[in-house]
Structure 1
Amino acid sequence: MTHSGVRGEGARPDAVRSAGDGTSEGNGPGADRTNGAGGGRRGHGRRPGRRHRVLRWSAMTLSVLILGTAGAGYLYYRHLNGNIEKGERSSGDSKARRTEPNAAGQTPLNILLIGSDSRASDANVALGGGKDHRDSVPLGDVQMLIHLAADRESAAVVSIPRDTRVDIPECTDPRTGRTYPAADTIINESLGRGGAGCTLATWENLTGVYIDHWMTIDFAGVVRMADAIGGVEVCVNQNVWDRPLPGMPGGSGLKMRAGSEKVKGEQALQWLRTRHAWGSDVLRTRAQRMYMNSAMRTLRGQNVFTDTGRLMDLAEAATKSLTVSEEIGTVKKLFDLGMQLKTVPSNRITMTTMPTVADPENANHLLPAGDDAEQMWAMLRDDVPFDDNGDDSGGKDDGGGARASAKPSAEPSTNSSDDSPPDAAGIDVLVRNATRSSTLGPVDGRAHAVARTLVEQGFDRATADTSAALSGQRTVVRYPGDESAEDARRVAEALGIPASATRESTDVSGVTVDVGADWRTGTSYPRREKPEAGDLPDSTDALNGSDTGTCMDVYKPYRW
């Protein structure tokens, strides 16, 4: 029998054990050995060497165990990082810029979550059907913007229905190098015109909100994550079966009885894909938000950090399921994002859908609903909470200016030429008409009207661009570099445009005013009152994160 090498040699029946007082004890025939200097084989003079050998071997063994464990952990960490697919943050022509930090140096965090209908794998073909569409460009059928407030005390999740017609900017696919021209089409096509980075640029141009990161997930990823979470509880008011009907092909296959049920695997995917049984694309976004709301509550209620197995399952599922923008493409960064989201109380999370109206050009499409949509985006840009459950719900300044309740006049007076800066005459200004949007056609003559106003105020080198009208949700003043930043500020001030709407841009050669769809009449920019916490339009169909009693109504033809 082989014994542990920690003791230095094989054990013998007559082994001598060291006593604390230097004497020896035998447990066999050799027990009469003495401790004299020239005594037995295990005399007193040999003890220190053996002890040193024992300590040395013990230290070596412990070191191997520690290094082995750390090595395995490092290898597993590398394995998880290797699971994550990454891509560039933006692949389109976008003009949005980051929100300025508040007084505490904090900035909001915006993450775009995209659900892809790609069939580019056997798993996705099996789950999504349509094997003949394996090589088709993917569509972004689920699009949600997650906004985490600068103070990390509130959050918002905003959906845009997939059939909403918007302006998609020029995008270059980072994988193929192909450049797609700008297009006026439904938003779910943006994913196939330059990847997730094109969808991000489309959202930025529509909303004016700078988006820090994107994440995409496909059919197989949804199934994998639902199983890793342990299922997500959803609810219907009537029995539902989303199936093909006469004159209405397709259907997700979702079949449930009335009441609450925890969906996992393929059934979770069916819930997210169901549209006919709810009655519209807008109502599908409600079902998707209810699912996400429930999933977030489920994850917050699980202490996975005390269950190594579940933690590893979630880590494997998340890293295999998500493709992310490259600046968050490590396990640590994704973990940090998750921990920031976890700090927000459930009753400070609001889930909404962008207000929409019917598209007069296509009955199957939608358009952003003008003022209501703009009010919601303004709240995100100014980091105003969608809920009024915080300590500071009255819109008072929190130190960062985001919730200031000061109400500027609706139409500030235009400066007279006597008040113009002394060197206004030396500033070259180009004014462009950018009043066209997905919801509204262009207003003729806007560039000339605003340029004429600037000339009257002393900017005699202001000229109007005679090109066709551009698309622009918001009015902005652009400048090419620091040397012209002060000139841009003076131009903005002369027109009543807020300083936050001036930005550096590499695609202009001088100070350029883009008169956007938010300024269709008048010669002074229409200043609006800043919204206060909770000032969401009713048309946003808001759902609070603590609401556990909401169920989906089923469209009658799909009840059973």
Structure 2
Amino acid sequence: MAQSGVRGDAPAVKDVTSVATRTEEARDTAGRHGRHGGGGRRGGRRGTARRPRRRRVLRWSATVLSVVILGTAGTGYLYYRHLNDNLETGRRSGGDSKAEKPQPNAAGQTPLNILLIGSDSRNSAQNLELGGSKSSVGSKPLADVQMLVHLSADRKNASVVSIPRDTRVDIPACTDPETGETYPATNRIINESLARGGAGCTLTTWENLTGVYIDHWMMIDFAGVVSMADAVGGVEVCVKQNVWDRPLPGVPGGSGLKLKKGKQKVQGKEALQWLRTRHAFYSDVGRAQAQHMYMNSMIRTLKQQDVFTDTGRLMNLAETATKALKVSEEIGSVKQLYDLAMQLKTVPTNRITMTTMPTDTDPQNANHLVPAGADAEKIWAMVRDDVAFDKNGKPSSKKPESTDKNKEASGDPAAADAEIGVLVQNATRSDAEGPVDGRASTVAGVLVEKGFARAAADTTSGLSMEKTVVRYPSAELEGDAQRVAKSLGIPLSSVQKSTDVTGVTLLVGADWRTGTTYPKQTPPKAGDVPESAGAINGSDSSQCMDVYAPYRW
């Protein structure tokens, strides 16, 4: 949420026309920013004295925010460039993703998905002072906090889903963009993904787990959290009992958080301690709930403030946010972060919902978690289908449309059924349940009965997919893949292009563990979030954390 440093509408500024124009022209000629296509309005602008419309002034309030603060064109542009130079960027994706971009709705709109990552890096004196041991210095950071922010296509609601750091998932093969080192695919807890190829690898891990295409990532470390908490001016949190998250006999660690019961503001190091507290809030799931309380409270605080009325604070927020964040390269400028913030700003607090992916105890390790089958898949289906997590929107008179209506049928006609080669694989294993023996042979037999004479079962074991999919390697086989899906009642949205296969391949997932007919999928409804997701509405200020008894004082 650090983008909020450029939130709000600027006050009227006298004689801003020529300043804004010259700043825009300077930006257009700067090679550093040219890659984002900012130069479409240069011709015939120099020297004009015509006053721009207020809308245009507001649109450029981020680009010329230093005009509001400092009042001069040269200094304004230099300050804008300085803020851009503060931003550190990295590659969006770090491995082979199975997620596809969503199709636009009838109005040409698409959802926006942003992955927020909190790094536990100790590789600076400031980060080391704020948490962790000296033995961690030099090691690659882990992603201790991971949240997906989903902004609906119509920009009227937002959903946030956390995955606890100790959740065991499949991490794909990734290449570290800084060192070139390649890491093989593995099945480990999700916070290790950051150390196996950077934030891009964490993003790809999420995409393959959820089937959700993620547009951008943003990452912040300990020091960044502290500086942003100070710049915001404190965030209100609540505990039901006095809390002290400290080492106990047989339980090392602890964030150091020490608060009296009730509501109070935290900022600086205390805010970081709140976000890191785990044992005192029972578990990683409890920590995620505390983080959601903090985020909701911060959003409410920022919405109540107009930072543009306090130029000194505005300058501090912009400076702090650009230094605190590392972002994926396609949003690596102040202008792009501002535009992103303006989209998020339109969502009212009662249309923001914070959740945690439902989990079960890992059968392989009682200290770890695994996705909770149907409940976890329901959350991701709602995100993929752009279904609101809240019920506070205006009810639609239209019946919910199948996502297949947004998925175009292939222009390449399918071959005759008897000529389509289909490899069927058993991917019914999930982290919570083992594979169902014989599923590939059973479904291959169904296809043969339907006339797909070249359908065959693969004896490969150990594959895992929460949802059944049909994959194809190249465009000329898309029609064949869609024909196979249609014959079994599998939605076209589950037909995916992938370089992992050499022909049409049907992976029978954990959603089809029994029977010869693909289970009919019921479209999720707004607000139909599983209770196990622990949903918290953004307008709910009554939330208060229960403290595990050993950590009370």
Global fold match (TM > 0.5): yes
Which residue among 315, 319, 324 is the counterpart of 1:321?
324
Distance 2:328 2:415 in 1: 47
User: Could you tell me which residue of structure 1 aligns to residue 464 of structure 2?
Assistant: 471
Mapping for residues 141-540 of structure 1, pairs under 5 Å: 141-392=144-395, 396-397=399-400, 423-540=416-533
Q: Distance in 2 between matches of 1:147 and 1:204?
A: 13
State the distance in 2 between where 1:106 and 1:97 align.
16
Q: Which ranges of structure 1 fall in alignment gaps of 5 or more residues?
A: 1-58, 60-64, 405-420
**Partner residue, 1:110:** 113
- Whether the 8 Å CA contact 1:478–1:502 is kept in 2: the answer is yes
Whole-angstrom CA distance in 2 between matches of 1:402 and 1:315: 40
SS of the residue 2:279 aligns to = coil
Per-residue displacement from partner, 1:314-349 (whole Å, max 9, x unpaired)? 111111111111111111111111111110011010
Which has the higher Rg, Structure 1 or Structure 2?
A: 1
Q: Deviations over 1:152-189 (max 9, x none)?
A: 11111111111111121222211112221222221111
Report if aligned partners of 2:415, 2:480 keep a CA contact under 8 Å in 1.
Answer: no
Question: Structure 1 residues 439 and 430 mapped into 2: Cα distance closer, same or farther (>3 Å)?
Answer: same
Structure 2 letter corresponding to 1:448:
S
Whole-Å separation in 2 of the counterparts to 1:393 and 1:163: 39
Structure 1 residue 559 corresponds to structure 2 residue 548: no
AA matched with 1:159: S
How far the C-alpha of 1:403 sits from its partner, in A, is: 12
**Cα displacement (A) at 1:433:** 2.1
Q: Percent identity, aligned pairs only?
A: 70
| Partner residue of 2:127 out of 124, 127, 148 | 124
> What RMSD, in angstroms, separates the aligned Cα atoms of the two structures?
2.3
Aligned to 2:29: none
Matches of 1:305 and 1:480, distance apart in 2: 52
For 2:497 and 2:185, locate their aligned partners in 1 and report how far apart those are by CA, in whole Å. Answer: 22
CA distance in 2, matches of 1:123, 1:422: 63
DSSP 3-state at the match of 1:123: helix
| Structure 1 position 92, deviation (Å) | 2.2
Task: Please say if residues 352 and 390 of structure 2, whose CA atoms lie closer than 8 Å, have aligned partners that are also in contact.
Answer: yes
Which amino acid letter does the alignment assign opposite residue 512 of structure 1? T
User: Unaligned 5+ residue runs, structure 2?
Assistant: 1-48, 50-66, 406-413
Helix, strand or coil at the partner of 1:323: strand
350-359 or 462-471: which moved more? 462-471
Q: Which secondary structure does the structure 1 equivalent of 2:280 belong to? A: coil
Shift of 1:423: 1.3
Q: TM-score, normalised by structure 1?
A: 0.82
Residue among 70, 73, 76 paired with 2:76: 73
Query: How far 1:121 moved relative to its partner?
Result: 0.9
Q: How many residues align?
A: 480
Question: Secondary structure at 2:281's aligned position in 1?
Answer: coil
For 1:83, the equivalent position in structure 2 comes to: 86
| 1:394 CA displacement | 8.0
Question: Quick one: distance in 1 between partners of 2:253 and 2:527?
Answer: 39
Q: Is the 8 A contact 1:254 1:267 kept in 2?
A: yes
SS at match of 1:152: coil
Q: What letter is aligned with 1:549?
A: S
Note the alpha carbon deviations across 1:17-56, whole angstroms, 9 max, x for none. Answer: xxxxxxxxxxxxxxxxxxxxxxxxxxxxxxxxxxxxxxxx
Q: Distance in 2 between matches of 1:453 and 1:188?
A: 40
- Distance between the aligned counterparts of 1:108 and 1:170, measured in 2? 27
Question: Structure 1 residue 401: deviation in Å?
Answer: 5.5
Shift of 1:274: 0.8
Which is worse superposed, 434-443 or 149-158?
434-443
User: Where in structure 1 do 4 or more consecutive aligned residues deviate above 6 Å?
Assistant: 65-68
Deviation sequence 1:520-553 (CA, Å, 0-9, x none): 2222221221111111111111100000111111
Q: How far apart, in 1, do the equivalents of 2:280 and 2:462 lie?
A: 41
Q: Aligned with 1:112: secondary structure?
A: strand
**Conserved 8 A contact 1:171-1:194:** yes
- Inter-CA distance 395–280: structure 2 relative to 1 (3 Å threshold): farther
Give me the whole-angstrom Cα distance separating, in 1, the residues matched to 2:485 and 2:300: 45
SS at match of 2:130: helix
> Using a 3 Å threshold, how does the CA distance of structure 1 residues 80 and 447 change in structure 2: closer, same or farther?
same
- Whether the 8 Å contact between 2:471 and 2:495 is mirrored in structure 1 is yes
| Further displaced range: 538-547 or 85-94 | 85-94
How far residue 293 of structure 1 moved from its aligned partner, in angstroms, is 0.8
Asked if the contact 1:226/1:265 (under 8 Å) is kept, the reply is: yes
User: The residue matched to 2:212 in structure 1 has which SS?
Assistant: coil
Pairwise CA distance, 1:140:
0.9
Equivalent-residue separation in structure 1 for 2:387 and 2:398 (angstroms)? 8
When structure 1 is superposed on structure 2, of 173-182 and 388-397 the one drifting more is: 388-397
Quote the offset at 1:75 in angstroms. 1.7
Q: Which deviates the most, 533-542 or 519-528?
A: 519-528
Specify the SS of the correspondent of 1:296. Answer: helix
SS at match of 1:277: helix
The answer on whether the counterparts of 2:362 and 2:431 sit within 8 Å (CA) in structure 1 is no
Counterparts of 1:82 and 1:325, CA distance in 2: 14
